[in-house]
Structure 1
């Protein structure tokens, strides 16, 4: 059965992440091997949203995309439910990868961000965890891969703005069976397939004034001051801002 979301005057059908899509990154292998319902839904992605045709035209003209992801509360065996996780490619002609910005719309999110050595994806340079509640903003800067975890008892709904000109890179995280840490009920545990994993740095969400938003304001409203989002499409022009985020 299709899962849909009404956003503005449009209804969008979800891209569904199934349990079998998570096979490479699940911590609890014994649980996964014993699970018969591999085709059950895990979370839902609603891509390229806009409240009107004119908004969508403006979003596309600025090479952006606005998405919403919905992650129901559940466990993947002994591990809290999460996204598969991914990196972003470099902006053509630069050595800077594209950033992404998230906002929690409902529920609570745990964002795990990791930076690895170029050409050695198993060598971890930095790990950051940001716990975000409704309304909070989290910016994933260039150079970081990321996973979103729902460690709460409520459905997590989050939005993101991102440059529409690239595809996310999933292979390195899948090849290493997940991110550098897994979040279990007893806390974070290290992924033994990575080398030299540093301790987690726990940081706070991004301040609203960094984007020119009022506290609690939906970041979708940046459609009305879209120049504030140019750091997503041309991060090479905002290195000072982006390197100071973490």
Structure 2
């Protein structure tokens, strides 16, 4: 499998944080696969705080944002497609809503699995599960109060970008404790429930445009990075519309 030791973007070069199988073995369905797999196998590569030049870097920080690029080569985890570890976002201070996030598929295909959880009464309940199938040029917004996992369901490398508030760290533990998200996507295309959650809703399948915000019109002719020139369209990431 190809290893991405660097990313060239604009006139700059970035090094990745590498997610290895051993880092996320708890969220893999196929335990037989895990028993004989190499825990040092690199699954995906996260390039954090990417910018084309120093001026853009300064502008992004002033806006309290972060632009990342993640590369997920094609692979399987035994019975399921390669995926990210999955995480939730923390609450925006003074709010009952978590930080949203915006993704764009730059190359390949992505299945974004979103799940909304309710923790009223101290017990976790999944109230909604959504899968968004996205291709090159599609943007997908992760709404407040949803955790998410990204799956590469194809034989091509998935390269995706995200805009997110820089003020927080992702929360991995709830999905790790449950052994993954509410559903696993198998290599035959089937989604099966994660029994550790108990009762979960059926999956709602949405198109990428259905996740959009009507007040924000995006131009598919340019990459999402260029929203840096229209910062009002990114404001919802740090303060909800």
Q: Which secondary structure state, in structure 2, belongs to the residue aligned with residue 24 of structure 1?
A: helix
Give the match for residue 97 of structure 2: 96
1:9 Cα deviation from its structure 2 partner:
1.1
Equivalent of residue 195 in structure 1, options 195, 198, 201:
198
Give the match for residue 180 of structure 1: 182
Structure 2 residue runs of 5 or longer lacking an equivalent are none
In 2, the alpha carbon distance for the partners of 1:13 and 1:121 equals: 40
Change in 2 beyond 3 A, CA 1:208/1:118: closer
Q: Which secondary structure state, in structure 2, belongs to the residue aligned with residue 105 of structure 1?
A: strand
In 2, the alpha carbon distance for the partners of 1:121 and 1:42 equals: 32
Equivalent of residue 138 in structure 1, options 137, 140, 147:
140
In 1, the alpha carbon distance for the partners of 2:63 and 2:206 equals: 30
Give the match for residue 3 of structure 1: 5
Deviations 1:11-52 (A, max 9, x none): 0000000110121100101110122x2112110000001101
Using the size of structure 1 for normalisation, the TM-score is 0.92
Give the match for residue 244 of structure 1: none
Give the match for residue 221 of structure 2: 216
Deviations 1:110-147 (A, max 9, x none): 00000111255642100000000000010000010000
Change in 2 beyond 3 A, CA 1:134/1:11: same
Give the match for residue 237 of structure 2: 232
CA RMSD in angstroms comes to: 1.5
Are 2:71 and 1:66 aligned?
Answer: no
In 1, the alpha carbon distance for the partners of 2:217 and 2:24 equals: 37
Aligned length: 235
Equivalent of residue 19 in structure 2, options 1, 17, 20:
17
Give the match for residue 77 of structure 1: 78
In 2, the alpha carbon distance for the partners of 1:88 and 1:208 equals: 19
Alignment of 1:84-163 (within 5 A): 84-119=85-120, 122-163=124-165
Greater shift after overlay, 106-115 or 210-219? 210-219
In 1, the alpha carbon distance for the partners of 2:4 and 2:219 equals: 35
Using the size of structure 2 for normalisation, the TM-score is 0.94
- Check conservation: 1:43, 1:72, Cα contact below 8 A: yes
